[in-house]
Chains A and B, each alone.
Chain A
Amino acid sequence: MRGRGRRVGWFGLVLGLALALCLVFLTLPIAAIFLEAGPAELLSSLGSAQALEALWVSLLTTTIALAVILLVGTPAAYLLATRSFRGRAALVTLVELPLVVPPAVAGIGLLAAFGPAGLLGGAIEGAGVRLVFVTAGVVVALVFVASPFYLRQAQAAFEAVDPTWTAASRTLGAGEARTFARIAIPAAAPGLGAGAALAWGRALGEFGATLIFAGSLQGVTQTAPLAIVALFGTDFDAALALSAVLVAVAAALLATVKLLTRGRGPTEGAGLAPR
């Protein structure tokens, strides 16, 4: 083969080595969670009241947050995707801002806006609502940090819907609302699903903003990530077990995203009409 087949050059070796390093570095800590404690140990450690309560708080708050995000985010993203107006680009950037704001800063911001001494604190208290140190506060923090993930993906998904479909729907007697519900949403569904999974994943892992804005009260505002921090000094096995659950859920969400956006570009939404 010498002289015919191309030898692997030094640069190829460098590339391979770099990838191998990435792979080991990125997967080893995840694998270690499962290797450190056996499945039986994991299960028994999950029996701890604190871990179970934290999982329940996480499930409850992320579900409510996701419902809020879908309910408000879907029409908002549709508007951004289908109308052109002055300042639209600036608006899109503003909506994406929470993506790059550090979570701790997000928590401070939420306190400054909705906290008892915040901008709207008086109004919120006047309405008889408390957000700080209660479960509802966790939902507020989660919606703040997770909704941009959904908005971005949903906007891309709606932009990819063939505009002649919505035009055809209108000429067939359907108003704007019916066109949105019957044509745009089903056509964009895979992209919307992927966005929802991304937002849910982000909400599930939320830590900083929740801690600052809602605190870490066991059974009330202590979500799974907060419980891991609280537990790892006292009950490392329980912390490991909770981590394992979060890894499993995160992996399932990632697989969902990949499945829903299969065959499409990474930034592209979904629902491209067949042509």
Chain B
Amino acid sequence: MLRAELAVALREFELRVELAVESGRGLAVVGPSGAGKSSLLRVLAGLLRPDAGRIECDGESWFDAAAGTDLPPERRRCGFVFQDYALFGQMSAWRNVAYGLGHLRRRERRGAALELLDRFGIAALAEARPAAISGGERQRLALARALGSRPRALLLDEPLAALDASTRGAATRELRRLTAAAGVPTVLVTHDFTEASLLAEEIAVLERGEIVQRGDAETLAARPVSAFVADLTGAVVLTGRALAGAGGGGTEVALDGGGTALTAEPAAPGPVAVGVHPWEIALEPAGAAAHGSARNRLAATVTSVTAVGGRVRVALDAGQPLVAEVTTASRDELGLRPGAEVVAVWKASATRVVPAPGAGLL
């Protein structure tokens, strides 16, 4: 169990975080660049000294501002996987791993390092220098090194960021399996919500040093507390003003770029934002008669069309930017290409009300 309650002044804001992660479980801290994610990991590892608070792991106090406790990083022994892996360039792969095996006798280290490399499927690279191996292999080497040092907690800084798209899927599954098997608390930080949802049971959203929402991926996607969180989960966020008296418990929102959106949720009149996920938005040809139950219809111009796997992401301009995700079949049927006029259609029940950007912030 890793528990922390800490405050540290960063350049532009204060990082104030409270967290608790059980052994064998993972917490993903998600946020944009500069939200304080890496600083959080550095504080936990003992590489950055917080101004106040407490950190403890398995009942041992690592940091206690009041009691004056501050264990150095080598005594906290966190398995830290750095964003660029921080492999020692002048050492071969097995020596990198052996470096973390200080708890073993000198003559046992080589054998143990080779065994670890074998477990991570990179035994053939034992004598290779880090610069000579691929990104995916480097990630495995960094993990092998971190886990080999018998860490009390695992800290992963953007563990997949240095990988290209082709190896990321497999690496994600493997990482999840390995961190769960390590049996220690894992804290990882990432700017990618999907990655976070795949790698950890719980997600905490960090915005300017504060955790603004935490929960599992489904909860965050379904009930974002702010436009910021909604945007992070991949939802399209449209701003506008809630109008009074839509009736039926729903709300009618006059959108900032023109047009209106209906939501099934109540909202007080005034500035508001609505979130909708790209896969909830369907596209119809411009001028087609309204049909079906979808009550939100917004005329839009296609700005870009990008095929991703079997799906197509269509960026639209509807007064505000909008993204729809459609099938390749409907792309061909509608003749979607930049400049095409379409109508974006989605259900009121798929539309979530979120506080307007800036609301709730001082």
Contact = CB atoms under 8 A, between A and B. Distances in A.
Interface of A: 162, 164-165, 167-176, 182-183, 186-187, 273-275
22 contacts: A167-B45, A168-B82, A169-B88, A170-B46, A170-B47, A171-B46, A171-B77, A171-B79, A172-B74, A172-B100, A172-B145, A172-B146, A172-B149, A173-B77, A173-B103, A174-B99, A175-B72, A176-B72, A187-B88, A273-B86, A274-B89, A274-B130
Contacts of B80: 167-168, 171
Nearest to B148: A172
Contact of A174 (B74, B84, B89): B74
B47 A171 contact: yes
B78 interface: yes
A165 B86 contact: yes
Interface of B: 42, 45-47, 72-74, 76-80, 82, 84, 86, 88-90, 99-100, 102-103, 130-131, 145-146, 149, 155
Given A167-B47, A174-B102, A187 B89 contact: yes
A167 B155 CA distance: 13
Contacts of A182: 99
Contact of A273 (B89, B102, B155): B89
A238 B28 CA distance: 76
What DSSP secondary structure best describes chain A's contact surface? helix
Contacts of A175: 72, 74
A215 B77 CA distance: 57
B34 to A, nearest CB: 18
B84 A170 contact: no
Contacts of A273: 86, 89
A266 to B, nearest CB: 23
A60 to B, nearest CB: 33
Contacts of A183: 88
B99 A171 contact: no
A120 B45 CA distance: 47
A172 B131 CA distance: 20
A62 to B, nearest CB: 29
Contacts of A167: 42, 45, 47, 73, 80, 82, 86
Nearest to A189: B90
A257 to B, nearest CB: 20
Nearest to B162: A275
Nearest to B42: A167
Contacts of A174: 74, 99, 102
Contacts of A186: 90
B2 to A, nearest CB: 14
Given A168-B80, A175-B74, A187-B90, 17 more contacts: A162-B86, A164-B86, A167-B82, A168-B86, A170-B46, A170-B47, A171-B47, A171-B149, A171-B155, A172-B99, A172-B102, A172-B146, A173-B149, A176-B72, A187-B89, A274-B130, A275-B84
A167 B73 CA distance: 8
Contacts of B42: 167
A272 B78 CA distance: 25
B82 A274 contact: no
Output the residue of B79, B86, B130, B155 with the most chain A CB within 10 A. B86
A97 to B, nearest CB: 34
Nearest to A170: B73
A183 B96 CA distance: 11
Contacts of A176: 72
A61 B269 CA distance: 87
A217 to B, nearest CB: 46
A275 B146 CA distance: 19
A169 B146 CA distance: 10
List of 8 A-B pairs having minimum Cβ-Cβ separation, nearest first? A170-B73, A172-B100, A164-B86, A168-B86, A171-B80, A274-B131, A173-B102, A164-B82
Nearest to A174: B74
Contacts of A165: 86, 88
A183 B47 CA distance: 16
B47 A173 contact: no
B337 to A, nearest CB: 39
A169 B149 CA distance: 11
Nearest to B83: A164
Contacts of A275: 84
Contacts of B76: 171
B134 to A, nearest CB: 13
A183 B84 CA distance: 17
Output the residue of B46, B89, B102, B131 with the most chain A CB within 10 A. B89
B74 to A, nearest CB: 5
A182 B98 CA distance: 12
B74 A173 contact: yes
A170 B74 CA distance: 5
